[in-house]
Structure 1
Amino acid sequence: MSTHGACKQENPVGFWPVRKSKIGLIVNPIAGMGGKVGLKGTDGTATLMRAKNLGAVPLAGKKTQQALSQLRLLEDRFEILTSPGEMGEKVSKASGLIPTIVTAKTGATTTRTDTINAVRTLLQSGVELLLFAGGDGTACDIFSSLDSSTPILGIPAGVKMHSAVFANSPVSAGRLLSSLVQRTSPSFPIKSAEIMDLDEDARRRDSIQTTIIGYANVPVDRARMQSSKAYGFPEEIHAIDSICKFLVQNLTSGASYIVGPGTTTQSLLARMGIQGTLLGIDVVQDKTILHRDLNESQLLRYADKHPIKIIVGVIGGQGFLFGRGNQQITAEVIKRAGKESIIVVSSSEKILSLENQRLLVDTGDPKVDAELSGYIKVQVEARKTMIVKVEPA
């Protein structure tokens, strides 16, 4: 990983003053649209058009509303300052709030320039915390015009969310914000968190190029804030190889396996002599790849005709099974398989490094998240599993 340009100085844990809170809100309306349709992101006009042509629909507004719904009956404790239309006004009103519009009207399609200008205007308006809905790309845009002290809080709504500025889920973001505006103390704790980004063009070529863009202040909440994605556990290489060898020998003949993205699952495919899609979703049967890099619609069409099993890894440092980087495996796809047909592969080192050794799910469907919660077997060695707790994010 490299450090980008002139990063703002990383700050130690501190405190930020609280009064009747002035909360800035920025929604990136197109964030996350590339996820279900398998585009690994939505940066750039051409990618957005392709996503729409594949049937992608906006998701960020709905996720923002899930967060803001946690603030019902607290309107006397805070004020929302935001941008017109899809960048915040519409979802604020849909959530029963009366926002103050402080930025200029945007065009029919919002751009990163609109986000950058909105940040500047909101900071000039004296917001005490900046709430935003998007992914790593949106976080980077916000960082580019952020001052060195104002805290930010991300509602996870993008495709890539490796940064540590996001809550675990939209509901977690709302609950965290609810706790902040109800505080009776004059301040709330903040800490410095990494903002990271992946090169989307490289990602589409199955290459992972990660950059630390800088550091921003975020509220301290170990239960509700996600960690940054962790890369590389050198001690797990041998364990993963032995797990993959064992699984290949024990795959059910004739069964169809949906294989999630990541280096762990790619090791499994390599054991079969298959070059899979590092950052996409493949379907294999009897050690043969049937379909590469499928999106949600393609997976559902396949699952409607064939019984399926799902093989997924665990995101290092964060512990997500679903909802980060594998949005093509939606709640509907998971329903087709069932919890009993999900195979989780990870080294024990990766599991033990997680906060509370728990796994998280954020499918966007509360009912499916609840059905996945409880405990699940994780294959951590060739003939050894760990029983790990699963919680809705």
Structure 2
Amino acid sequence: MASLTAAACLLLALEEEAAAQAITAYADAEGWGPDTARLGSVGSAGTWSLERIESLAEEAARAFYIKLQELGWTEGVAAAAAARADASDSTLLAFHLDLVRSYPTQLILAINHVLFERHGYRRQRRHGDPLDSRLSNVLENGNGSPGSLAVLYLELCGRMGLALEPVALEGGRYFVLMPADNAASLSVAGERFVIDPYSEGLLMSEAEICELFEVGEGGLQPCSFATMLAGILTVLRDSHWCAAVGCPPEPLLMVPVSVEVALGEYRDVEVSTSSGEDEAGVPTFRVSFSESPTEAEVPTGRQWWPAEGYHLQRALAAAQKRAWLLPDDLHALLDYALCLYFSKQYEDAWQELGCVLQAAKGEPLEAATFGEREVEQMELLWEKMRLQLAFAGS
């Protein structure tokens, strides 16, 4: 399953890359300047074919067996190392897996050494860069978001025979990894530990993680790989959204994709976007905030996104894929409807929001996804869109 997750992440990256290259070519043709190159980062053939990940796994395997030899293991180690790559000898392969399950900490140390010390993979330098959520860019340049680094770590461990499961934190914006079964234990004195790939593979106790991320009763629970991909798409959507509306990309400071924003009730902020031309005929992309004294209208020739709202469209694409992955998650469906609304696709937004409202009203009261006030706001926005459509058709 881990390989499928990596392949899916590369497919997401491929679409992002294709869109970036297309808009870069268009921007160059329009004379918007060289800064549009920041949108894309073409990877090598080894990156797109997963050969780079396989090479990292081979390197980690060698480091793992060196660590075992340092502990005194010599007999059968070389043969077991060869069996990891060639599964034809089931006895030797079973021996390799037994070593992995018996010494998971040594395996984690080996992977950490290869990834973070030898190759310099590291956490993103700043919030809000869409490139950090593309697995291809992470493999090429080393900077990664919590989700993309977790996928890379998960992939290496899976190829080494250590099955892990992701645990989603902060609404899928952060991930730690835990053993998928009891065959490999990361417990000491009865206390279980998890791996934090974003902190260079640091082992942290479940109690520490629960306190740090305010996880309540029930403790840490593994999530599906679909949920993991949806979390990566959430971060990607946020990055593009913040770039589109010009707000800070930090989670606590960003203007959220919410019904309140659509209705102009969030911090007295009304966000609207439009494109056009100024008096000199220069293409512009306009972002309006009611709390600002004037509208911000910036010539796109000095920006790295074009007048058509490239980032807004990429935010919409990410929200749409997230809705496909989580068809029963009303929050994901609402986010998609709102991104359609902000993209001024009012008819599609009206239909999607109507489906969300219908599902929300059909839920039992004790299991309701939204509160009464939230439903009222959605109904108000739905009616606002209906009037916009009626006005446009008149």
TM exceeding 0.5: no
TM bucket, shorter chain? under 0.3
Structure with the higher strand share, 1 or 2: 1
Ranked by relative contact order (alpha carbons within 8 Å, sequence separation 6 or more), the top structure is 1
Q: Return the TM-score normalized by structure 2.
A: 0.24
Q: Return the TM-score normalized by structure 1.
A: 0.24
Q: Which one has a bigger Cα radius of gyration?
A: 2
Structure with the higher helix share, 1 or 2: 2
